[in-house]
Amino acid sequence: MFLEISDLEVRHAGRTRAALQAVTLGLRVGEVGVLIGPSGCGKTTLLRAVAGLDPVFRGEIRLGGSVVGSAALSVAPEHRRVGMVFQEHALFPHLSVGRNVAFGIHRLPRARQAARVAEMLQLVGLAGSENRFAHELSGGQQQRVALARALAPGPRLMLLDEPFSSLDADLRERLAHELRAILKAAGATALFVTHDQFEAFAMGDRIGVLHEGRLHQWDDACTLYHRPATRFVADFIGHGVFSPATLVQRGGRVVAQTPLGELGTLHACPPPCGYPGGECDVLLRADDVVHDAHAPVQAQIVRKAFRGAAFLYTLRLASGHTLLAHVPSHHGHAVGEWIGIRAQPDHVLTFARA
């Protein structure tokens, strides 16, 4: 691993609760890692600890095999060779784009500086913009200049803290894909913070879900979605609801009795004895619940949200349980209408009752 964080604990002065606890993760050279989680979960603190801006209380941070941060040792931020891009673009408005990008490489001979600036601007899609001024650029262009500036000194690791949060949704999504391509072209290893899971999925080779200072899971997007390690991750990633279920053994297989009927394809499902009396909750995502006019179970549409090809329906069963379903948008059901629904999950995820 190139970046290795083990059992990291970070505490802020005057706070009783640790901002980060027992965080362990690793990134290989050239990988992009993304941290997501609700506001205050510790994302920025983790980046700041890696940069050397917040002290380590317990555990270790290693870069390229050497410890850069522990309770006993802290390599100064400027000696970690880490590049940073933060929310606000923080370009120098009175300097040209070229001078901004050259900021971290002013010790190089002028000709080499100019060549490196041109190379970085080419990489971020702003070739030939050296003489423009920061205030003449759009928000997205300014962020790309900030990225070029951070990449110019050839950092070993790039840290990006919600660099697109001030931009509109469309531009953000496009830039997330572009940024990934730029980081890959530069061969950069990067750790990126966002609270937007679509951005995380677009960017990350590995994604970490943080909650109240603890890392619940560190995995690729597919595993995170299909095999959430905890109830919190299951809830945070993707649209879904927990539905009460009773697991029962029937012959050689386990079935889950739910308000939507019996679910029988329980991949990697624990035996009923895994929960007291087989009573647990199953996660039903909006994609797992389909509209079927012939289904015996009926649900009332409580809310509809247009999502392009599909509507996201919030449904209520006669039992009072709530469900979510993606229903193709050519169906013209009205709010209040009762429709037939069926569960067809690929696999069923079970959790202990909250």
b/e map 36-72, b = 16+ CB within 10 Å: bbeeebbbbbbbbbbbbebebbbbbbbbeeeebbbee
Nearest approach in angstroms of CB 40 to ligand ATP is: 4
Report 190-209 residues binding ligand ATP (CB under 6 A): 195
With CB under 6 A as the rule, give the number of residues binding ligand ATP: 12
Nearest approach in angstroms of CB 176 to ligand ATP is: 17
Q: Which residue lies nearer to ligand ATP by CB, 39 or 66?
A: 39
Q: Which residue lies nearer to ligand ATP by CB, 99 or 206?
A: 206
Q: Which residue lies nearer to ligand ATP by CB, 38 or 274?
A: 38
Q: Residues near 107 by Cβ (< 8 Å), separated by ≥ 6?
A: none
Nearest approach in angstroms of CB 50 to ligand ATP is: 12
Nearest approach in angstroms of CB 346 to ligand ATP is: 31
Q: Which residue lies nearer to ligand ATP by CB, 40 or 93?
A: 40
With both helix axes pointing from N to C terminus, report the angle between 139-151 and 110-123 in degrees, rounded to the nearest 10.
130
Report 39-58 residues binding ligand ATP (CB under 6 A): 39-45
**What are the beta bridge partners of residue 9?**
58
15 binds ligand ATP (CB under 6 A): yes
Q: Mask of contacts with ligand ATP, 270-299, x by CB under 6 A?
A: ------------------------------
301 touches 337 (CB < 8 A): yes
Nearest approach in angstroms of CB 47 to ligand ATP is: 8
Nearest approach in angstroms of CB 55 to ligand ATP is: 11
Q: Mask of contacts with ligand ATP, 213-232, x by CB under 6 A?
A: --------------------
Q: Which residue lies nearer to ligand ATP by CB, 195 or 321?
A: 195
The piece of 33-41, 169-177, 222-230, 294-302 that touches ligand ATP (CB under 6 A) is 33-41
Nearest approach in angstroms of CB 39 to ligand ATP is: 3
Q: Which residue lies nearer to ligand ATP by CB, 19 or 117?
A: 19
Q: Which residue lies nearer to ligand ATP by CB, 161 or 288?
A: 161
CA distance 240 to 245: 15
Q: Which residue lies nearer to ligand ATP by CB, 14 or 320?
A: 14
88 binds ligand ATP (CB under 6 A): no
- Token pair listed for 101: 């990008």
Judged by CB under 6 A, the residue of 3, 8, 19, 124 near ligand ATP is 19
| Residue of 250, 338, 347, 244 whose CA lies nearest to 295 | 338
User: Cα–Cα distances in Å, from 352 out to 107, 157, 242, 311, 347?
Assistant: 59, 39, 11, 30, 17
Nearest approach in angstroms of CB 45 to ligand ATP is: 3
Nearest approach in angstroms of CB 44 to ligand ATP is: 3
8 binds ligand ATP (CB under 6 A): no
Query: Contact residues for ligand ATP (CB under 6 A)?
Result: 12, 15, 19, 37, 39-45, 195
